[in-house]
Amino acid sequence: ADEALFEALRAHVKAEIGVWKYPRWLEAVDDLPKTATGKIQRFRLRQCQVGEGGRDA
């Protein structure tokens, strides 16, 4: 994802939610880990660390 998309996301979050809820970082991924029924496996997302695609929010 390009920097313009991340800037738009930051601006939207800043306008919609409180500062204490800001994400610490943003990372663009091609696909999210899902279960057989299609639910996102949040525990696997927590295990991931910011890679080269991650940007400070």
pLDDT tens-digit readout, 9-32: 888 998 999 888 888 788 888 899
pTM: 0.54
- Return the pLDDT at 49: 64
Rounded to the nearest 5°, which phi and psi values hold at 56? -60, 140
Longest dimension (CA), the chain: 36
- Cα 55 to the center of its chain, rounded Å: 9
In the numeric block, the tokens 């880990």 are attached to 33
Per-residue confidence (pLDDT) for residue 50, from 0 to 100: 52
What's the total number of domains in the chain?
1
Domain that holds residue 44: 3-56
